[in-house]
Chains A and B, each alone.
Chain A
Amino acid sequence: MGKGKPFLEVFASALHEDYRFPILEIFAFLYALGTFVFASFGPAMSPQAVSSEAIAYTLTTSLLGLPLFIFIILIFKNVAYGLGNDLEKGIIQTYFSYPLKRRGILTAKLLSALGIALIIFLAIQISALYVLAPDIVSPYLGTVLLTYAASLSFPFLIAGIMLLVTLALRRGGLALVIGIVLYFAMGIISSIVMFISYATDSPLALKIISVISPNTVLAQYYSYGPFGSELWTPTFSEVLLYIGASYVIVAFLFFLGYLYFSRRLGL
Chain B
Amino acid sequence: MALIVAEGLAKSYGRVIAVDGLDLTLNEGSITGLIGPNGAGKTTTIKMILGLLKPDRGYVRVFGQDPWDNTDMRSLIGVVYEKAFFPSHQKTLDYLRRVCRVFGVPESRALEVLELVNLQEASDRPIKALSAGMLQKFAIAHALVHKPRLVIADEMTANLDPQARSALLDLILQLHKDENVTFLLSSHILPELSRVCDSVAIINQGKVWAYGKLTELYAKYAVGIIRISTDKPEALASKIRKLNYIEKLDIDLRGISIRVIEGKEEKLYEDAPKLAKKIKAKILGIETGSASLEELYRLAVGANKGR
Report whether A266 and B52 are in contact in the complex, using a CB–CB cutoff of 8 Å: yes
Report whether A13 and B83 are in contact in the complex, using a CB–CB cutoff of 8 Å: no
Report whether A16 and B85 are in contact in the complex, using a CB–CB cutoff of 8 Å: no
Query: Which residues of B169-220 are within 8 A (CB) of A?
Result: none
CA distance A96 to B104 in the complex (A): 16
CA distance A91 to B127 in the complex (A): 12
CA distance A91 to B135 in the complex (A): 13
Known: A99-B72, A102-B69. A6 touches B102 (CB 8 A): yes
Rounded to whole Å, the gap between the CB of B143 and the closest CB of chain A is 8
Closest to B52 in A: A267
The reply on A17 being an interface residue by CB < 8 A is yes
Known: A99-B72, A99-B103. A93 touches B87 (CB 8 A): no
Known: A16-B90, A266-B52, A266-B53. A93 touches B85 (CB 8 A): yes
Closest to B146 in A: A99
Report whether A13 and B52 are in contact in the complex, using a CB–CB cutoff of 8 Å: no
The reply on B280 being an interface residue by CB < 8 A is no
Q: 1/0 contact trace for A170-183 toward B, CB 8 Å?
A: 00000000000000
Closest to B78 in A: A97
- By size class, the interface of chain B is 20 to 34
Closest to A104 in B: B71
Known: A9-B101, A99-B71, A99-B103. A94 touches B86 (CB 8 A): yes
The reply on B10 being an interface residue by CB < 8 A is no
Residues of A within 8 A of B69 (CB): 101-102, 262
Residues of B within 8 A of A1 (CB): 103-104
The reply on A100 being an interface residue by CB < 8 A is yes
Known A16-B87, A93-B81, A98-B103; 16 more pairs at CB < 8 Å: A1-B103, A5-B101, A6-B103, A9-B99, A9-B101, A17-B88, A90-B81, A90-B85, A91-B85, A94-B84, A94-B85, A96-B51, A97-B79, A98-B102, A99-B75, A266-B54
22 A–B contact pairs at CB < 8 A? A3-B71, A6-B103, A13-B87, A13-B98, A16-B87, A16-B89, A90-B81, A91-B87, A93-B85, A94-B81, A94-B142, A96-B50, A96-B74, A97-B78, A99-B74, A99-B75, A99-B103, A100-B102, A101-B69, A102-B69, A266-B53, A267-B53
Interface residues of B (CB under 8 A from A): 47, 50-54, 69, 71-72, 74-75, 77-79, 81, 83-90, 95, 98-99, 101-104, 142-143
